[in-house]
Chain A
Amino acid sequence: MANPVEQFKIQPLVPIEVGGVNLSFTNSALFMVVSVVLVTAFLTLSVRGRAMIPGRWQSLAEILYEFVANMIRDNVGSEGRKYFPFIFSLFMFVLFGNLLGMVPYTFTYTSHIIVTFGLAVVVFIGVTIIGFARHGAGYLRMFFPHGAPLATAVILVPIELISYCSRPFSLAIRLFANMTVGHIILKVMGGFVVALGVFGIVPMAFLGGVTILEFGIAVLQAYVFAILSCIYLHDAIHMH
């Protein structure tokens, strides 16, 4: 049986080293590029016809666009309009990373903690900067809820601070864990199908169900990543 974690192995395709730092073009980077190309091609080619009555592809592109637009409008409000391109890129990047990973023999870059953490840190730092830019030092009130007795500050401030600082970790680990576990399950079940021969039909059926579930999770996790970013953005703009 193949090692179920082997699929996560990084393989350098074009070795690059800059100033002693390994910046090789790896299979992970390759699929990030593939994802960017696919997203851009899909979104630009589908609306090329600018049809009044959209076809399937154009309809899909419009649905994704309006889905994220509504998500921002509902969760952030009208001020969130200027962050729409960022949230949309984030959503599409994670969504395509997750979905591409469902294709056999591909590499799932969203199953790597450093990638998800990188995205989460961008959101975290961005949100914190926006918060301080809008409210100045008043943004520190985030860590002490309105109306709470001053004496409780000793307990509340550390709790709020920890909860605020754990945001990028929860965001990163949620996506990473979901993708990694899903792919390990698929790999292990696939191994069982081969090992059991004729009786492999049982794990095979199970595998079918899990695959459908994994597609659902792929979409759902992209949605969760985007909507949590929206909620953090809302906090930074409106403060609680």
Chain B
Amino acid sequence: MPQFDPTFYATQLFWLCVTFVLLYLLMSTMAMPKIGAVLEERQRRIDDNLDKAGQLKAEAEAAIALYEKALAESRAQAQDLLRHSAETLSKQAEERQKQLGERLAGQVKAGEARINAAKEQALAHVRGIATEVAKSTAAKLTGVTLDDSKVSAAVSAVLEEGR
């Protein structure tokens, strides 16, 4: 077999040395850094994108939190406003009711006073009429014309008794 013929051992070892050293230099200085750079760049890009995605997610979460806070705030504000206006309205209604009641009470009092006055007047009239009737009745029955003041006193006494 030619493999065991030492004639070409030296040349094969020499050229093996030359080519392998050349290959090693080409690989370590040219080919491998290039491939390594491509792989590294891809990895960096992937990491970058992952980072960016994480950042965007955090931003979105912050925005959601902010939105929810604003929502809660405006809800509280609306409730506050609602309660406030309800209070104001009920206070106003109470006030108006009180005023109305006072006015009505005043009117009732005035009406009662008027009624009382009318009653007094009517009673006075009754006394006058009773005196007239008593005087004319006495005149008709006895033919005596009685003195006005006497009749009036008598009628007053009777009225006082009837009361």
Instruction: Name A's B-contacting residues (CB within 8 A).
Output: 5, 8-10, 12, 16, 21-26, 28-29, 32-33, 35-36, 39-40, 43-44, 47, 50-52, 54, 58, 61-62, 65-66, 84-86, 88-89, 92-93, 109, 111-115, 118-119, 122, 176, 180
Contacts of B19 in A (CB 8 A): 29, 32-33, 35-36, 93
Is B39 interfacial (CB 8 A cutoff)? yes
With most chain A CB atoms within 10 A of its CB, the pick from B7, B10, B14, B31 is B31
New contact pairs (15) apart from A52-B42, A122-B20, CB-CB < 8 Å:
A5-B1, A22-B7, A25-B15, A26-B11, A29-B19, A33-B15, A43-B32, A47-B38, A50-B38, A84-B32, A86-B24, A88-B27, A92-B23, A114-B3, A115-B12
With both beta carbons as reference points, the residue of chain B lying nearest to A68 in the complex is identified as: B32
Instruction: Name B's A-contacting residues (CB within 8 A).
Output: 1-5, 7-17, 19-20, 22-24, 26-28, 30-32, 34-39, 41-42, 45
With both beta carbons as reference points, the residue of chain B lying nearest to A113 in the complex is identified as: B3
**B interface, over-half SS:** helix
Query: Least Cβ distance of B100 to chain A in Å?
Result: 85
Contacts of A44 in B (CB 8 A): 30-31, 34
Selected contact of A50 from candidates B26, B32, B37, CB within 8 Å = B37
A12 to B1 alpha-carbon distance, docked (Å): 17
Contacts of B16 in A (CB 8 A): 32, 109, 115, 118-119
With both beta carbons as reference points, the residue of chain B lying nearest to A85 in the complex is identified as: B28
A66 touches B39 (CB 8 A): yes
B3 touches A176 (CB 8 A): yes
B32 touches A88 (CB 8 A): yes
A85 to B12 alpha-carbon distance, docked (Å): 23
Query: Least Cβ distance of A4 to chain B in Å?
Result: 10
A89 touches B3 (CB 8 A): no
Selected contact of A29 from candidates B2, B15, B28, CB within 8 Å = B15
Identify 8 residue pairs between A and B in the complex whose beta-carbon atoms are under 8 Å apart, listed by A's number.
Answer: A24-B8, A35-B19, A40-B23, A50-B34, A61-B35, A62-B39, A93-B19, A111-B3
